[in-house]
Amino acid sequence: MSEVSMSVNGRTARGVVEGRTMLVDFLREGLGLTGTHVGCDTTQCGACVVHVNGLPMKSCTMLALQCEGADVTTIEGLAANGAPLHPMQAAFREHHALQCGYCTSGMVMMAVDIARRIGEPDEATIREELKGNICRCTGYHHIVEAIAAGAKAMALPQT
């Protein structure tokens, strides 16, 4: 067992983990942040995407110990409890971009990164960038619409 310390959603998080503990298990079981999901556990589905030092990564395929000192943001960190939703979360709700919701936190975390990197991507670009996020119930139509709308909202000057 080893000690690990990182910043999660702006707060210092410490824990004692096994060497083999994946980041997603530390977040869910160690910190109780169950918004990040495990779908396939084989690095394909993207339900576990979180941001590590500002970049989206699959938290089922990195060790908690590799995040020592890192700055991690999960879906819970996008908007404070009770505060208005992040523009991308709001766009997913507005455009009915979820059915069961299992993939949604990973989708939103990837979508926020897409918007930050590309600005306002076209449909083909959104679909290409979403290659690593799989939804097994809605199909992607509304998700793609939501990301376009969310990216547009993120590009507006913040009031």
Which residues of the chain form contacts with other proteins (CB under 8 A)? 19-20, 22, 41-44, 46, 49, 52, 55-58, 61-63, 65-66, 110, 113-114, 128-129, 131-133
Asked if 135 and 107 touch (Cβ cutoff 8 Å), the reply is yes
Q: Whose Cβ is closer to other proteins: residue 68's or residue 96's?
A: 68
* Cα 67 from Cα 65, distance rounded (Å): 5
Q: Is 60 exposed, middle or buried (0-12, 13-18, 19+ CB in 10 A)?
A: buried
Compute φ and ψ for 4, nearest 5 degrees. Answer: -135, 145
Rounded least distance, CB 13 to other proteins, Å: 20
Q: Whose Cβ is closer to other proteins: residue 43's or residue 96's?
A: 43
Kindly give the pairing relationship between strand 71-73 and strand 2-8: parallel
Rounded least distance, CB 87 to other proteins, Å: 20
Rounded least distance, CB 84 to other proteins, Å: 27
Rounded least distance, CB 51 to other proteins, Å: 10
Tokens matching residue 46: 């993207």
Q: Whose Cβ is closer to other proteins: residue 14's or residue 131's?
A: 131
